[in-house]
Chain A
């Protein structure tokens, strides 16, 4: 099915470990986004890529890096995981501004 695919769906990390969250879309969308969802705080933007080859910081970028590998793929990397990064991470893509997003199914990350 067409859409946004995120991997993995669940992950447990120890403090200090690193990992990369993968996101791919097959809808030829131009913009892609990474959000985190925490209880009572809605979704907050970590990083985004308005188009292939560009990335920009969002509201909460500290502790994260991103790569827009090509038009389809946008990965999020945690270099040294901290318990404060325990969250549900959502990737989203957007055909063009200001259309609605298509979200992936999310990655539930726990850092112990």
Chain B
């Protein structure tokens, strides 16, 4: 069965520090998708990134970067020079094909990592 583990329950850093959020997944499929979502204190969930299993290139978007390594089944998220506005709960999620391979819509989420950035 698919599983996503975010071992870090809470992380606390001081502004301008770099921080990495870990995500490890388990899957039996060769085709799958990985996601990161952000949940700020307001409560809404915001999509950050999607990566498919065939694309191991790292991705950078401003202060955010993602490192996907199939060899270790990990999809880690790094925030460079963190800011107070980065304080949120971050979720990693995995999408696998449904029975029959017809859909990749359903997500399995990790438990989430609470990131607190202090001024």
Chain A residues engaging chain B, CB cutoff 8 angstroms = 31, 33, 35, 40-45, 48, 50, 58-59, 88, 90, 92, 94, 97-106
Contacts and interface: CB of A to CB of B under 8 A. Distances in A.
Interface string B96-119: 000000111111111110000000
Closest 10 A-B residue pairs measured CB to CB? A100-B47, A42-B109, A103-B45, A98-B104, A43-B109, A98-B33, A97-B105, A97-B104, A42-B111, A31-B105
Contacts of A40: 9, 111
A58 B106 contact: yes
B91 A42 contact: yes
Contacts of B93: 43
Interface size class of B (residues with CB under 8 A): 20 to 34
Nearest to B102: A50
B69 to A, nearest CB: 20
**Residue among A44, A94, A97, A102 with the most chain B CB within 10 A?**
A97
Contacts of B110: 42
Contacts of B58: none
B94 to A, nearest CB: 11
Contact of B43 (A44, A48, A100, A106): A106
A99 B50 contact: yes
A98 B54 CA distance: 14
Nearest to A104: B44
Contacts of B112: 42
Contacts of B4: 42
B8 interface: no
A97 B111 contact: no
Nearest to B31: A98
A45 B107 contact: yes
A90 B93 CA distance: 15
B45 A98 contact: no
A50 B109 contact: no
B44 A103 contact: yes
